[in-house]
Amino acid sequence: AAVDPRVLALAAQVAEGGEQDIPLLLLKLKGILNSASLGSEESKKIKQDIYNYDLTQYCMLVLRQDHSRLHGGWATAVRLAEILSHCCVGLEVKEDPEEFYKKFLPSAIDNLLFLGRRLQARFIRVIKDEEKQDFLHWFRTVTDAICWLLGGHVHLAVCVLQNDHFLQSLMTDNVETAIIMMSVLDNILRVNSSVLLQVDEEALHSVLDELVYKLSSTTNPVIGNAATKLLLLVAKFCKQLVKLLTTRYKGLKRLLSKQWTGKGFDRDLSQLLDLLYVEQSNGKGEMQRQHQAACVIQAMWRGFQTRKRLKRLPQAVTTLQRSFRAKREQELQHLKKQKEDEALKLQIQLQRQRAMRLFHERQLALLEIIHASQVDKYMEEMEEKSALTIQRFWRGHRARRNFHQQRQSLKEYKAAVVIQRAVCKFLEKRRRRRPLSPWKDPKGLTDEQRLALQQKVDDYIKLHPASQMSEEMSKELHMQAQEKLAQFLLRSRLDQRAAQRRETLLAQVNTDVELLMNAPGLAETTEKDLDVFMSRSIPVATKARQSHNTMLKYTRWPWWKKLGDEFMEDDVIPDDALNAELGTLFIGGRK
């Protein structure tokens, strides 16, 4: 079938347009969709072409962008959300339907919920009434688009309830947005009544917890009416969840009857309470049966345990008597030992007191006998004896303590000595028992082996004869080597002299350049400055003096430093002398 030319032209414009122009171009889809009646074949054909040319994907991606930078802002994003919802409802994808139903539609519903969450947050934050009304209107429009999309694709209800953006939008304290989100939840339950049984347990508990929380935390009758209707729908459509409501929220019936009676929705409230009471009565009967069964099991178990305990009673009594007698005997021994210790302490204390009394009496008797002038001397002697006695006892105590501490190490040391002595004796006996090996002369070559080896040596000499040279040829070769060596040395000396002359000229040029650069201006020139440029006698004299000193040093060298002089000319100066001579010429320049 032919493609709608309007869709084709719009797809080309979107492909060629910039990022900022794409949202405005996509708004043209609204007119294209409104040109055909809803549900007609032409409308289905247009939606199919829009999906095939990825215009719906563009709409879905724009919902994730920063809408403050778009032309038209949030209004453009809301209109694109409506367009995306209308494009997806009534669309029948024949090529790769799995991608459309399992990937594209869940992504679209996630982007719509994300846009709704952002609009809700902006509505809560803004202060001006006009902006609040705009954001509330846009939020309601997006939720209507979500409901429209759910009406066309019922299986998306599970994705919505398990989506984090939906749960975050539902968990709000704002009255206006909370009512809108509960209306969306009401629409989901009416479209797919068994959706709560299909979602996971965490999402189900989150939704029910939020509804019960709204009933317990607010006194607004609108919020209470909406939450009560939702719980009534849950109880009617999903009978399995009534038991969850009664067991998870045990104070729910009391909360509904006391806080929300007479608020204008008593009919729905009474129906919900009836369902909860019926489930509670059924649960009570079941609980009574379970309680009776538990009582029977416990009675049987207690009887079994009692009979088992009675069988073990004689053995337990014997064990108890034995342990009691052992404990009593232990306590008696402890008391006896304690009494003996106390008697010993008392006896020692009495002996000490008696000894001290005798000592003092003896001292008094001695003091009466001794002359008054000898008392101090006697007291000093007694103190010295007492000190010696104390020191003797202390040294004995310390020696005994050290001995007890070192007893284990001494024992280990003695054991190690005994073991080493035994090992040494064992090794010595073993060494004595081992017989000495007789001396064996190395094997020599036999006559046949010696002849064969001599034959191999002779053959090798024949194959590789040594090169021989006569005495005349050796002398001639020596003379040629001497001549070539002399030529090489002479040529190297000449090259060195030429290089040295070049370096001398360069040094002179550098000196002249430095003199010219450091020369004063014409207005400040004196006769001395002119003499420097007109006469070079001072540098020449300095050079001649240094060269003379260098030659004198060379003549005083020992003989072993002049071994190479036979290859020199008379006017050739040694390298060291030339280096010293050149060193004096670098007045300015490189050195």
CATH fold of 5-281, please?
A: Leucine-rich Repeat Variant (1.25.10)
Higher-pLDDT residue of 489, 378: 489
Query: Rg of the chain's alpha carbons, rounded to an integer?
Result: 61
Nearest to 49 by CA among 100, 5, 105, 99: 5
Tell me if 235 sits within 8 A of 245, measured CB to CB.
Answer: yes
The 3-state DSSP composition of the chain as helix, strand, coil percent (nearest 5) reads 80, 0, 20
- From CA 223, how far away is CA 361, in angstroms rounded? 107
Tell me what pLDDT residue 175 has.
Answer: 82
Q: Tell me, rounded to whole angstroms, the distance of Cα 185 from its chain centroid.
A: 44
At 577, the pLDDT band (50, 70, 90 cuts) reads very low
Q: What is the mean pLDDT of residues 187-204?
A: 81
Could you give the count of Cα atoms lying within 13 Å of 29 in the half-sphere of its Cβ?
A: 35
Mean pLDDT of 385-414: 89
| AA identity, residue 425 | K
Report, as an integer, the average pLDDT of 134-144: 86
Among the residues of 89-200, which ranges form H helices?
97-99, 105-125, 129-152, 156-161, 164-170, 175-191, 195-198
Instruction: Give the whole-angstrom CA distance, residue 63 versus residue 60.
Output: 6
Q: What mean pLDDT do residues 133-137 have?
A: 86
Please report, as a single letter, which amino acid is at residue 580. Answer: A
Six-digit token string for 100: 């459309």
Residue 585 has what pLDDT?
41
Average pLDDT, the chain: 80
CB 281 within 8 A of CB 274: no
The amino acid at 73: G
Distance CA 431, CA 559 (A): 70
Question: Looking up tokens 């068994």, which residue turns up?
Answer: 194
pLDDT higher than 60, residue 586:
no
By three-state DSSP, how is residue 495 classified? helix
| Interacting residues of 567 by C-beta distance below 8 A, sequence separation 6+ | 486, 489, 490, 493
Max Cα–Cα distance, the chain, nearest Å: 151
Give the CA dihedral 325, 329, 334, 339, nearest 10 degrees: 130
| C-alpha span between 23 and 83 (Å, rounded) | 11
Cα–Cα distance for residue pair 46/43, rounded to 1 Å:
5
Tokens 């909406």: give the residue. Answer: 226
The Cα 55–Cα 297 span in angstroms is 69
% pLDDT > 90, the chain: 11
Each residue's pLDDT tens digit, 31-69: 887 777 777 777 788 787 777 777 778 788 877 777 766
Position 301 confidence tier, pLDDT thresholds 50, 70, 90: very high
Confidence label for 566 from pLDDT (cuts 50, 70 and 90): very low
Give pairs for 197-200: CB < 8 Å, separation 24+: 197/238, 197/240, 197/241, 198/158, 199/158, 199/161, 199/162, 200/162
Q: Band the pLDDT of 449: cuts 50, 70, 90.
A: confident
Cβ(181)–Cβ(223) below 8 Å: no
- 210, 246 Cβ separation under 8 angstroms: no
Closest CA to 139 of 174, 106, 105: 174
- Rounded to two decimals, the pTM is 0.47
Q: At what angle do helices 313-369 and 375-433 cross, to 10 degrees?
A: 130
pLDDT (0 to 100) of residue 111: 85
Q: Which of 423, 552, 569, 410 is nearest to 486 (CA)?
A: 569
181: buried, middle or exposed (CB in 10 Å: 19+, 13-18, 0-12)? buried
From 510, 497, 581, select the one nearest 546 (Cα to Cα): 581
